[in-house]
Amino acid sequence: MTRATRHETTTMPLNTQPHFEAADSFYEALIDSHRDLTTAQSHELNAKLVLLLANHVGEASVLNEALAAARASVLGAYTAI
């Protein structure tokens, strides 16, 4: 299997099932990264992390699906996250 180049398009559905290694360790690192930050700095860290991960994903349709799912989850209308 070859990896798609920057200009090729692939279809990658949003995966909302647990899918990453060492979830507990990642969560701990995420919490630790916010330690001793102001609220504004914490929000900035979150925004930068989201942008870095969005850049990694890269596919607009998946990112839009993720935004909709996250927003629905915050509003109580989506429970798969």
Residue 71: inside a domain, yes or no? yes
Does residue 7 lie in a domain region? no
14-68 confidence digits (pLDDT tens): 988 888 889 999 999 999 999 999 999 999 999 999 999 999 999 999 999 999 9
- Residue-number span of the structural domain to which 72 is assigned: 38-81
Per the domain annotation, does 2 fall within a domain?
no
52 within a domain of the structure (yes/no) = yes
Residue 4 lies in a domain: no
Domain count along the chain: 1
The answer to the question of residue 44 being in a domain is: yes
Distances (CA, A) of 8 to 13, 23, 25, 66: 16, 31, 34, 21
- Is residue 15 domain-resident? no
| Straight-line distance from the first to the last Cα atom of the chain, in angstroms, rounded to the nearest whole number | 29
Strand intervals (E) in the chain: none
pTM as predicted: 0.73
